[in-house]
Chains A and B, each alone.
Chain A
């Protein structure tokens, strides 16, 4: 793994020096092949080679933020996976959702989780929410070469800002593009193939100061609208009991709604659409 181990058996200098608190910077010295952006790619488009993850929505609410993602991964016109999980905790107070090439996205997300935890352990203090978003932006930028060959990854990042003066505005959302970012969003945002429809739905229904429960319901509604019009987004699968992943970040930390809770929300949404298909 790490090259250049000393014959004496001691850890090499790069492990012990005080240079950096960033795990990706450390990794670029000891094992650069583990960074997604550092791998040489053969020329040509690779977009159809690997499964793609689709729609993620995030909504800021009173006292926090809600992020939800559908469960489908597609490969061309095929469904590659029905129960993929695309929304994950980035650390104790923030969430990250991945759209784009699923494999690279999940790898990047794991790396980002380690990056945040590593900083926290080395420095004894958590990064600020803006610091986390900037860090994620530079990791996305590192993948630009692959993105230009069709292996793009675009995350959505949201979290509870512990430094926020006004608790009502503590839930913040950041979006990115393949060249980095971050761009702070007000109120709500969506990414992925179904984001156009999800955002349109949210535009009409979003109100500031929603409760976390209402925001969770709204997120599932938006995903339903995305699945309604985008074939690559999966709606609630009542027969297989596969429901969207819904996570919240509040002052108490991140929390994933249990399957029973998301089932209740999803069933209520579906029941509503039985009467009015447009929502």
Chain B
């Protein structure tokens, strides 16, 4: 039998973290913010068919950055879990917290057990009756969960993007204001010599969880509606329309916030990007 070199668990975990962090940093970023009418997702995405942002359930959305095949795998699992629970119990009994827990467990197990961790950072957002009741969870490659205060950025230069969001984000923003802030935050990094750059409308993937709707609240905003929002046209502020089944669903009773998992923050000697 070949001689095995000893590698300490710390070293193994550090190597995996580094691999995952590099993988996530290579991708383009995504921003999620609460606004007066719901929760807004804005992701930089060159493809209009391969989505980074998608619907999980009535009031729950999903956004991810990193390797497509890996987060797509998690997204499918989330949709299946949500639909299974919604059918077994009731549509109101599917919560963002339960999904965030399942994703955290799954990512945590993959991180410790498999030779290659998932190079992804994902988030689960649930729209509440008011902006204060929105729930935003960030789940990183190692399974740590963070409960974010109404705004978050994921991906390569999340810290710089978050700092723009932090200074200018308010929960009572209109949709148009929130879209423009998100795009400004996303474009504040990555230009020549760290300067800001411009991102065209066709490179953005924008979706909302619309607070006012009953039933399925997830809507994508594309084409002319998106251009109008980016130009600050007040007319574009009206909720995006689209023929949808009007199955009534009552907003869920506010659930407790989850505790922040210690996860790997101590392994890396720093807090996850804030």
Contact = CB atoms under 8 A, between A and B. Distances in A.
Interface string A1-37: 1100010111100011010000100110011001000
B87 A111 contact: yes
B53 to A, nearest CB: 11
A2 B84 contact: yes
B88 A124 contact: no
A89 B79 CA distance: 21
Q: Which of A117, A252, A254 has the most CB of B within 10 A?
A: A117
Contacts of A6: 109
Q: Which of A114, A118, A121 has the most CB of B within 10 A?
A: A121
B245 A121 contact: no
Contacts of A254: 243, 245-246
A113 B56 CA distance: 15
Q: Which of A15, A124, A253 has the most CB of B within 10 A?
A: A15
A10 B108 CA distance: 8
Interface residues of A, number: 35
Q: Which of A11, A114, A251, A255 has the most CB of B within 10 A?
A: A11
A253 B244 contact: yes
Interface residues of B, number: 31
B77 interface: yes
A10 B246 CA distance: 34
Contact of A121 (B54, B109, B110, B247): B54
Q: Is the interface of B mostly helix, strand, loop or mixed?
A: helix
Contact of B81 (A11, A34, A122): A11
B131 to A, nearest CB: 25
B244 A92 contact: yes
Given A15-B76, A16-B76, A121 B55 contact: yes
Given A11-B106, A89-B245, A117 B83 contact: yes
A237 to B, nearest CB: 24
Contact of A18 (B76, B102, B243, B247): B76
A113 B246 CA distance: 12
Interface in B83-102: 83-84, 86-88, 102
A6 B110 CA distance: 12
A11 B247 contact: no
A110 interface: yes
Given A8-B108, A23-B83, 18 more contacts: A8-B105, A8-B109, A9-B106, A10-B109, A16-B74, A16-B76, A18-B73, A23-B80, A27-B84, A34-B88, A114-B86, A117-B216, A121-B54, A122-B76, A253-B245, A253-B246, A254-B246, A256-B246
25 contacts: A8-B108, A9-B105, A9-B106, A9-B108, A9-B109, A10-B105, A10-B110, A11-B77, A11-B81, A11-B105, A15-B81, A16-B106, A18-B76, A23-B83, A27-B84, A89-B246, A89-B247, A117-B83, A118-B83, A121-B79, A124-B54, A251-B243, A253-B244, A253-B246, A255-B246
